[in-house]
A and B are shown apart, each in its own frame.
Chain A
């Protein structure tokens, strides 16, 4: 009996060992990409100069580029990657839908609508420049509200409609409807506001002011903490609401916590960096493939690390190291994410309804 237990424990341990290896590997990747992201860019700076700029107080141009531009951008990329991937993971579990993600079901468009209200509508007598300090928070709050409203609407639909494809199509319709509203708002807004909004929609990791970065960091930290707290609930929700209720989960409370968490993270990223696609839907699947588990105690840290690494890599690629051109980061994330999504769809045809 004792030996049997030991064998079982040994088995569980060896399983855990492999996962620890992946964690270490991912952490290493994140650190590498973070450093690379600072060292590489459209202006080529020698490695020694980068180190000098970070650790000494010379007043060179290099220092401005490194400290005022590259470092904040790398931190933004890391934060955005974590936030979008985590909210994607949570949505996939709550909706029990492998195709759920902030950008797919219209959550990001909901957030855009909130942003559009602030930039185009609400600030009719405030100039876009006044979106500093408290303005940042207004922008974020509007984005949360938009994301949250769409989340609740989608939840309501999916409680009545069980078919994954129907929900996806409704999500696409919802996004299109919201885009139509935004277009009408654009049509009636003045030139300055329109320009501010259009630049926002292009998505960028580099345009954040330091106060905006602070707001983003606070919001995402709250989201990450909440999601660590929600690991047990998410595990229960894997079984569906009936079983989750029967093993003692307060399903309504769990939904509120998880939705709040998702809306805060996806909403604040969208508010500052624009709609960034395919990270939220693809990264959780990469984490599932790597860790071969459905346990959120492992998937949440796994998704955090994978999301950070993928987003940093996307940012490095978008800089096109060695050339003067810069690609929109949105395009890079799509090109990385779409193959993963296609793979999931093809695999799912075998076991329809699985995720």
Chain B
């Protein structure tokens, strides 16, 4: 099948790492990956594996130790600093702290590779800047100082800056790391919009696996021995995410893309009933350390339905009724007699 995709970035046996003195410290085995136009790509890997180094190498802020990077088929070495700045933009985890800098001024800095030696903002540049500010819904903040913004607003302003830079590719190092949950999803929504509506290729690193799986078009999963790329679902099917948590008490369930803590299973419970109450009761008994039984065995729980407003737990010994999941779980986690 022939796919109508424009490849905008490709990595060919790329070696990343640091040079300290004469010693080359290569972090990972050679990496191969590619990115197409308009894709939202999440870079995932455990802490310290080299995500930031990879992103910095991609943007040319750090030299590679071997292998090649191609932007639109042209080697990164053949780009001048200015030309590269028109291909790829970068947001790091570093927080910009400048007093007296308005949001407009910050976004205007994105025009750096497009303005003359004085950095003059002419009508065309002004329009691009205002457009970027509008797309990130920062119009109301245009003349506010960057130092007065909330974390989420500042990150939107940073994205506006990179948008004004007018690059096909945006590289973002943990763009949602320090945000509260609301701003986190706002930023993610914005990234999603920019990649799908404005055809920007966005490569971002994140620790939020759930977010990456649910929103990104592609995942670059960095493991100790290789880089795996594919749709989140492809990687899920291969069970590769499990390797991320080999030694930690966290477990990834490839079937539904959720996490759980590895713990001793206390027993199995059958649940009778359906609907939203069943869904959350399942979650609750999982949390209490029980798994779901497929067939009706003792113990079992009957979910409230119709006139019956209580959860009914039947065990070998007794039958107890609870008015809420809270009461049910409190009972389950205390009661050792259930673990038959």
Contact = CB atoms under 8 A, between A and B. Distances in A.
Contacts, number: 91
Given A232-B112, A295-B105, A354 B96 contact: no
Interface stretch (A202-210, A215-223, A236-244, A335-343): A236-244
Contacts of A248: 81-82, 84-86, 112-113
B80 to A, nearest CB: 8
A242 B158 CA distance: 14
A354 B147 contact: yes
A292 interface: yes
A177 interface: no
B98 A294 contact: yes
Contact of A238 (B90, B101, B102, B165): B101
A295 B82 CA distance: 21
Interface string B118-132: 110000001000100
Interface string A318-355: 00000000000000000000000000000000010111
Helix, strand, loop or mixed for chain B's interface? loop
A249 B147 contact: no
Interface in B112-153: 112-113, 115, 117-119, 126, 130, 142-143, 147
Contact of B119 (A5, A231, A246): A231
Interface centre among B59, B86, B119 (most CB of A within 10 A): B119
Contact of B97 (A235, A292, A354): A354
A191 interface: no
Interface centre among B90, B99, B143 (most CB of A within 10 A): B99
B97 A236 contact: no
A68 interface: no
B19 to A, nearest CB: 16
Contacts of B113: 247-248
B142 A8 contact: yes
Interface string A155-170: 0000000000000000
A52 interface: no
A236 B81 contact: no
Contacts of B299: none
Given A232-B115, A232-B119, A246 B99 contact: no
Interface string A296-336: 01000000000000000000000000000000000000000
Given A5-B130, A242-B90, A243-B90, A293 B85 contact: no
B109 interface: yes
A187 interface: no
A176 interface: no
B109 A351 contact: no
B100 interface: yes
A236 B109 contact: yes
B59 A246 contact: yes
Nearest to B148: A351
Given A231-B118, A297-B119, A249 B112 contact: yes
B81 A229 contact: no
A321 B126 CA distance: 51
Contact of B61 (A231, A245, A292, A354): A245
A236 B165 CA distance: 13
A242 B61 CA distance: 7
A288 interface: yes
Interface in A5-22: 5, 8-9, 11-12, 15
A250 to B, nearest CB: 5
Interface centre among B86, B100, B130 (most CB of A within 10 A): B100
B89 interface: yes
Nearest to B61: A245
A294 B119 contact: no
A11 B81 contact: no
Interface centre among A8, A246, A249 (most CB of B within 10 A): A246
Given A240-B94, A294-B105, A354 B99 contact: yes
B110 interface: yes
A152 B98 CA distance: 24
Contacts of A235: 105, 109, 112, 119
Given A5-B130, A293-B105, A297-B119, A243 B143 contact: no
B92 interface: yes
Contacts of A15: 143
Nearest to A241: B61
B147 A232 contact: no
A354 B315 CA distance: 64
A232 B94 contact: no
Contacts of B118: 231-232, 297
A242 B130 contact: no
Interface centre among A5, A239, A297 (most CB of B within 10 A): A239
Contacts of B105: 235, 293-295
Nearest to B119: A232
A55 B86 CA distance: 58
Interface string B139-180: 000110001000000000000000001000000000000000
A8 B86 CA distance: 27
A297 B118 CA distance: 8
B98 A247 contact: no
B72 to A, nearest CB: 17
Contacts of A249: 81, 112
A231 B88 CA distance: 24
A9 B59 CA distance: 34
Contacts of A353: 97
Interface string B305-338: 0000000000000000000000000000000000
A351 B85 CA distance: 31
B113 to A, nearest CB: 4
Contact of B98 (A229, A239, A246, A292): A239
7 contacts: A11-B143, A12-B104, A238-B109, A243-B90, A249-B112, A288-B99, A297-B119
Interface of A: 5, 8-9, 11-12, 15, 229, 231-232, 235-236, 238-240, 242-243, 245-250, 288, 292-295, 297, 351, 353-355
Given A246-B85, A247-B112, 10 more contacts: A236-B112, A242-B90, A242-B92, A247-B89, A247-B165, A288-B99, A293-B101, A294-B101, A294-B105, A295-B105
